[in-house]
Amino acid sequence: MNKLINDPGNVVADALRGLAAAHPELRVDHEQRVVFRGDAPVRGKVGLVSGGGSGHEPLHAGFVGAGMLDAACAGEIFTSPVPDQMAAATNGVDGGAGVLHIVKNYTGDVMNFEMAAELAETEVVAVVIDDDVAVQDSLYTAGRRGVGVTVLVEKIAGAAAEEGRPLDAVAAVARKVNSQGRSMGVALSSCTVPAAGRPTFDLPDGEMELGIGIHGEPGRRRVPTGTAAEIAEMLLAPILADLDFTGGDGVICFVNGMGATPLIELYVMYQEVAAILGKAGVPIARSLVGPYITSLDMAGCSVTLLKADDEILRLWDAPVRTPALRWGV
C-alpha cells in the first residue's frame, strides 16, 4: 500500500489538520470533525450543511466557503458521520434563517442526517441527492446513489443562499438541480481503503467496472476496457436515455476524475463527451473538468450532465470562494 499517510486509522484527522493549516479562512472543529466557514454563522443567511464519508475529497470540506457550503462533516473513510457531528454543524451555521442539509442518498447518511435534524436547534430542510443512473438500488442505497450532482447542488444552492433567499426557496433550487442532473461513472482500477490495506475489489487487467459506485460498490456490469470514445458512449447513453437534455439552455457538463486518473485523460474524455453531445443536439453551456468527487485512489471517471436554465447558469456563475472551487473573488 503506497500511500502518503501516517497511521491508517488517523488519515481523516491528519487530513483535517492539513486542511486547517492550508486554509486559515476556514475553521475546523477537530473534535467533532466539522469544517466551517470562518465567518459562520452568517446572520440572516440560510446555512448549508453537507457531509459524508471521507475519501471523496475535495467533496465536501473543499467546498466550504462563501457562495457554497457553510459547514461539512467528515466521517471516517467511506463511513457516514454521526448525528452528533451533523447537529453540531447545523447549530454552528444557524444564522436565524434555517439550515439546508444536502445529503447524498446512502442509507447511513440519510438516517443520520434525519436524526441530526431532530437534534438540531433550528429549522432544517433536507434535500437528498440521487443522480446516479447506473443502478436502481445498491449495496448501501435504496434508490439511486448520490454522486456528481452533489457538487453542482452545493455550488448552485450555495449561491441562492448567498443571495439571501429563504430556506424553502434554497431547498427548491437544490431539488431542481437534483431533478435535472444525471451521472454515471466507470472504474479502471479499485481503490484501497487505508484501514483495509488491500483493494476493495478485484479488477483484472483489461476490464473495467461500468456504473461503479464512489465507494467501489458494484455497478452495472464488468466489461472489457474500451477506448475513451467507447467509454464516453457507455456512460452517456444511459444518461441521455434517462432525461431529455435538449430544449433547455444547454447543460453544465462535468467530467470528474475518480482520484488516480490524471487530468490529461479527463480532457481526452471531455472531447469525446462533447462530440456525443454535439451529435445529440445538446449544447454545452458550462463545463467542469477535474477530480471533484473522488474515490480515494480509484482510476476512472464519471460524467454528470445538468440541464440548465437561466437561473441555474446565473447561480453557477456567481462568486464562490472555497479551497476547491473559486472564482469572482
Catalytic residues: 56, 215
227's grid cell? 477506448
Q: Is 257 left (phi over 0), alpha (psi -120 to 50) or beta?
A: beta
The identity of residue 312, as a single letter, is I
Identify which of residues 112 and 294 has a Cβ nearer to its own copies in the complex: 294
**270 is a site residue for its own copies (CB under 8 A):** yes
**223 is a site residue for its own copies (CB under 8 A):** no
Q: 230 to 249, contacts with its own copies by CB under 8 A? A: 231
Question: What Cα–Cα distance (Å) separates residue 311 from each residue in 105, 269, 304?
Answer: 25, 28, 19
Rounded to 5 degrees, φ, ψ at 228 are: -55, -40
Q: Find the part of the chain contacting its own copies (CB under 8 A) among 15-23, 101-109, 115-123, 309-317.
A: 15-23
**9 is a site residue for its own copies (CB under 8 A):** no
Q: Find the part of the chain contacting its own copies (CB under 8 A) among 29-37, 107-115, 127-135, 271-279.
A: 271-279
* Contact predicate 65/40, CB 8 Å: no
The helix/strand/coil state of 255 is strand
Among 294, 305, 308, 318, binds its own copies (CB under 8 A): 294
The identity of residue 264, as a single letter, is I
Smallest separation (angstroms) from its own copies to the CB of 119: 28
Smallest separation (angstroms) from its own copies to the CB of 78: 12
Question: What Cα–Cα distance (Å) separates residue 84 from each residue in 17, 65, 91, 117, 315?
Answer: 20, 22, 11, 10, 31
Cα(251)–Cα(19) distance, rounded to whole angstroms? 32
Q: 172 to 211, contacts with its own copies by CB under 8 A? A: 188-189, 205, 208
Q: Is 211 left (phi over 0), alpha (psi -120 to 50) or beta?
A: left
Q: Find the part of the chain contacting its own copies (CB under 8 A) among 98-106, 138-146, 221-229, 310-318.
A: 221-229
Among 118, 247, 281, 329, binds its own copies (CB under 8 A): 329
Among 32, 54, 183, 200, binds its own copies (CB under 8 A): 54
Residue-wise DSSP of 127-173: EEE--B-S-SSBTTBSSSPP-THHHHHHHHHHHHHHTT--HHHHHHH
Smallest separation (angstroms) from its own copies to the CB of 260: 4
Smallest separation (angstroms) from its own copies to the CB of 11: 6
Q: What residues make contact with its own copies under the rule CB under 8 A? A: 2-7, 11-12, 14-19, 21-23, 54-55, 57-58, 62, 188-189, 205, 208, 225, 227-229, 231, 253, 255, 259-272, 274, 284, 287, 289, 291, 294, 296-297, 299-301, 321, 323, 326-329
